[in-house]
A and B are shown apart, each in its own frame.
Chain A
């Protein structure tokens, strides 16, 4: 309800009406997976330096049409963030300014629901720029993969059950091969793989066994 009101408000006060499409529903049966790499974890002053988005059409992950961009920022990259995403100042310098990337990205996303792992963080990071350029926040519905995973694995679990919602744990539980982490495209692709599988399992009413131990790197005895 609050969201609906908010979207109504933004829609009315939208500065640039070229972006009205964000408020129209996207093609049915399509979602977009989003992942951002940032200079840090604080949406108030950290910046987005790389972004990737992949459309999922039905059960097909459209990697061949993925959107990916590096963004140039004026801020000096803090060393601790470089260690995470491995994008050095030099790499980021090859990027383009956000005011060029954002319109492309928003058109790519369109009115589709946004899927992500801790998707609120990515959306909040983007909202800073979105607000600045079009005086609105992203109105898209958000789908949180860790939430679906939680419901399938821990829904109805006795109190005191240890929760493990780490990205790697979900990957391992679903048997998805791990690609190099902290590349926005890879992260988005792995998130997409999680999503198609979790969504289908949810529809089927399947559950993820809690006794199913997280797979080890190598089989026992290997």
Chain B
């Protein structure tokens, strides 16, 4: 039938034939205001797609979600046999009714469509994240040669010897040279030189012009990468000369193009290690930031991006430490990265949480010098300072182990939210330099302080309620529908923080040393604290929020609207994404309840 929007996900995954079958089987249902369309726990014979009106997804515990036109419900009631919530018409509502047998048939035939109906949040997200890969490929092919990191042109005279040419390549760190010979310009590669010397047994003194070739295949500086790729394929070349204004300006190699696809993450560690000054490192720091976006565009999963970024950041911090710390501090100190950086969950840099623990006394002047040098180096890289001043610059976060353990005790005794937050940040610490033993001793001391302290753990856990409940509420949706204001959800408050903090609390409770949330969840599952299935859901939900957060952070970088980066605008996401978000929020809700009842948070 007409009037059914086939471009609306997940129906956009259907083939023409499949969508015609779907259309032919549709009915339309009308629901009066207040009518319960699907009661919780019941199955449904239809998948409903809202045509007009709105449907409230009611759950006793929180503010309800509201579905509007083009939203579908409820895949759980249809495929898994029981709705997770009540679905109630808020106003006069019309829905397309897709019979179960048609949906089931399409699920069987079309894997991309089926993904929408997965019960598991993480599998659903995977299926939909896969979509972006094609786009990534496309954006790479539409890059211009100018924007690729190509090799600069080095010219030599045709008269120089093969040996000289070889040395010239090594000195300039290139694999090919342009050779001027009379009026013409040729190219000689390292491979040409080796062949001349080894296979043709040319003397090393022979002029290089004998080893080079003059049929240069070139690509324009402003050509697209895909044109270069075509050229390489056509001429069977792994290297093209780049021309600009009648001159050769460099070489483009196939490996350079490969670098665009994979990001050049494999090159960054080398740049960090080779850096001789803080300024050298600044370039590497920028490259880390730039590759996050590239990896994301290419459809790399957010947990992988976070892991790669953390690894690179840790190398970077280690190098900065080595360069900025006086010998005394370097020998005595253990540099800590904390918070999201410590958990390995930071992608786009938000703030720096770092500290240094010293296992013996160092001269006050050395420590002071280090604090300034380290902090200003990070400022120079564009790392935003931590709003809570959790940085080595702050004496609280750069002191001796003994002093710090006393500080931990003081926080434990104080027990106010700020103290608890400091403890939370510290629990996520990893050591990037010096002896990790110092950190382990500090954490052991903290776990000792908190073990069995039910009231204390409860107070710690109660931070989970710091932020208001997830809000996909009626009012905001209505506001958005009349265009009165943006409808957004704060991903950090509604999603990431409750998961991270709840898991952190359980980790302290069970004395788990891992810092990444996913690793903690695994450990908690092994310890029997969490059900394996729920553990998977929780990790999946965390990645959902990280993925959405990364997206809005990248968007904020482009629009320079920092500060709003954690807010996801609901009008900017597709129906399927909203569905995934809804599933993820449901997991958070369940988890809050679990934490709430375990630590009896009703009292707070």
Contacts and interface: CB of A to CB of B under 8 A. Distances in A.
Interface of A: 59-64, 66, 174-177, 179-180, 183, 185-186, 189, 192-193, 196-197, 200-201, 204, 219-222
A64 B52 contact: no
A60 B99 CA distance: 13
A204 B51 contact: no
Nearest to B1: A63
Given A59-B30, A175-B52, A183 B2 contact: yes
B97 A60 contact: yes
Q: Which of A179, A197, A220, A221 has the most CB of B within 10 A?
A: A197
Contact of B92 (A60, A180, A197, A219): A197
A26 to B, nearest CB: 18
Q: Which of A59, A186, A221 has the most CB of B within 10 A?
A: A59
A62 B27 contact: yes
Given A175-B53, A177-B69, A200-B92, A189 B28 contact: yes
Nearest to B93: A197
A219 B29 contact: no
24 contacts: A59-B30, A59-B32, A60-B30, A63-B1, A63-B28, A64-B1, A64-B26, A64-B27, A64-B99, A66-B1, A175-B92, A176-B52, A177-B69, A179-B2, A179-B3, A185-B2, A189-B2, A189-B28, A192-B28, A193-B51, A219-B481, A219-B482, A219-B483, A220-B483
Contacts of A201: 92
A64 B3 contact: no
B32 A204 contact: yes
A64 B1 CA distance: 8
A64 B25 contact: yes
Contact of A193 (B1, B31, B94, B99): B94
A132 B465 CA distance: 77
B526 to A, nearest CB: 51
Pairs of residues from A and B, 3 with the lowest C-beta to C-beta distance, nearest first:
A196-B30, A61-B28, A219-B483
Contact of A177 (B52, B99, B482): B52
B25 A61 contact: no
Contacts of B32: 59, 200, 204
Interface string B35-63: 00000000000000001110000000000
Contact of A189 (B3, B25, B29, B97): B3
B1 A185 contact: yes
Q: Which of A62, A64, A200 has the most CB of B within 10 A?
A: A64
Contacts of B1: 63-64, 66, 185, 189
A177 B31 CA distance: 16
B455 interface: no
Nearest to A220: B483
B243 to A, nearest CB: 49
A180 B27 contact: no
Q: Which of B24, B28, B32 has the most CB of A within 10 A?
A: B28
A186 to B, nearest CB: 6
A59 B31 CA distance: 7
Given A200-B92, A222-B483, A63 B69 contact: no
